Structure 1
Amino acid sequence: MTSVSFNLVQGYVPGEQKVIAASGGEALQTETISIKPKLEIVKLYAAKNNPGLDWDKDSSNWKHNASVKVENTGSGPVTITNLLFLNTPNPTPANDENLRDHEQVTLSPGAKTTLYADREPFIGVVEGHIKCGSEAKGKVTLTTTVGDDLTETFSWSSSGDYEYIHVEGCSISIERE
């Protein structure tokens, strides 16, 4: 038995693909295979509650950051181009590159990784300090080059004995819906 591997281009069309084994210009065998990525968010992390993760601790605001652990459970590769947090104290602006180091991440089938936001979604913005004790439903979106973008809703809340979310004693909780 002979096996052959090949790389798919970044913008391939997911779905049923026909693979033809040929020799000397003659088709020997034809198979139809499904090549389709499927991104899943495994876990959401708030930096204040998970200091052992790989946060950019050179940033003075790292404790107000968030990250997501993702897995590609599909049968084709996927490239993640952006990580957006919406309806948080400091939401990601439209068209802002928000992956740490502004690097795209490609996941092969079965691969997992943790993506870190470049902007801190849980820092209290200066104009309207966010009160500690706030809660809301946020959204996290992963944009991709192939297939559908992934958006999930999550609940976030802040608690503690201090008035504002940006203070050390105010903790952040994130839970998937």
Structure 2
Amino acid sequence: MGDATLEIEVANDASVEFISLIDPNDELFDQQRLASGETTTSFEILGRYEDSVPTGDYELVALDGDEQVDTTTLTLEAECAITDVLWAAENPDMEWDKNSPVWDKNAAVLIENKGNIPSLLTEIQWTGAPINHLLSTETKSYYHETRLPPGETTTVYSGGRIYRTESPHSSVDCGELGTESLTVTAIVQVGDNPSYSQQIRYGGTEQSCDLTITDNGSEDSLSENGDL
């Protein structure tokens, strides 16, 4: 499996002119022609369509003209899961862009692909985050183009200041919020779109917010300006 392709090799002594890839809906996904003497070809999995690629059992069919030479079934899955959401203020040693004075309001999303084919992250949607309260918007989206290789966990840095509660023009009155649920959803090209929730307790006042992130019963409290 390449970075974005499914690579196929046929036996040297096989007489094969075409290889067809049939998707789980029994529709022709793609077909490749082998020139005389060729034994390898590949199918593009990522970037071929704007819409999602169906996952499941695919059938590879080898043809010599109109005659079926061989067939085999393979399962293609991109099983993506968000394993953690990290706040820059609590993880200062990560590779944040620290050129901005508010870099510590950023977030990072860890996405694990447990499948056997790559996927492509195209968008991350944030709901119920501090930035949503600051901008008075239900969902805030940031667009990405990040490969999610199979068997690996990829760190994706947010495109905005997710944990920000103040701007030059407005601020969040944290004393009125209590505990809120932040939900992040990753939009991927291959496989289901994973989601992850994080509880945030808001405290302090409109001019001085204290955010507490609670995960699995453990709590760490930081003020919005990054102080303990």
Query: In the TM superposition, what are the counterparts of 1:20-99 in structure 2 within 5 Å?
Result: 20-22=61-63, 26-91=67-132, 97-98=141-142
Letter in 2 for 1:136: E
In terms of fraction of residues, the more strand-rich structure is 2
Give the root-mean-square deviation of aligned CA atoms.
3.2
How far has the Cα of 1:67 moved from its partner? Answer: 1.0
Matched, 1:154 2:194: no
For 2:92 and 2:185, locate their aligned partners in 1 and report how far apart those are by CA, in whole Å: 23
In the alignment, which residue of structure 2 is the partner of 1:8?
45
1:19 aligns with 2:86: no
Residue of structure 2 equivalent to 1:140: 184
Question: Gapped runs of 5+ residues in structure 2?
Answer: 1-8, 11-39, 218-228
Identity %: 21
Cα deviation, residue 127, structure 1: 4.0
CA distance in 2, matches of 1:116, 1:60: 17
CA contact (8 A) 1:73 1:109 kept: yes
Equivalent-residue separation in structure 1 for 2:155 and 2:41 (angstroms): 27
Shift of 1:148: 2.3
- Deviations along 1:98-137, one digit per CA (max 9) or x if unpaired, are 2xxx541121211221011111121114243434995321
TM-score normalized with structure 2 length: 0.61
Contact 2:83 2:111 (C-alpha < 8 Å) held by counterparts: yes
Unaligned runs of 5+ in 1: none
Given candidates 107, 110, 131, the residue that maps to 2:151 is 110
Measured against aligned partners, the alpha-carbon deviations of 1:47-92 in whole angstroms (never above 9, x if no partner) come to 1100011111112211111111111101222111111221012128
Normalising by structure 1, what TM-score?
Answer: 0.77
Higher CA-based Rg: 2
Cα distance between partner residues in 2 of 1:174 and 1:120: 19
Moved more, 19-28 or 83-92: 19-28
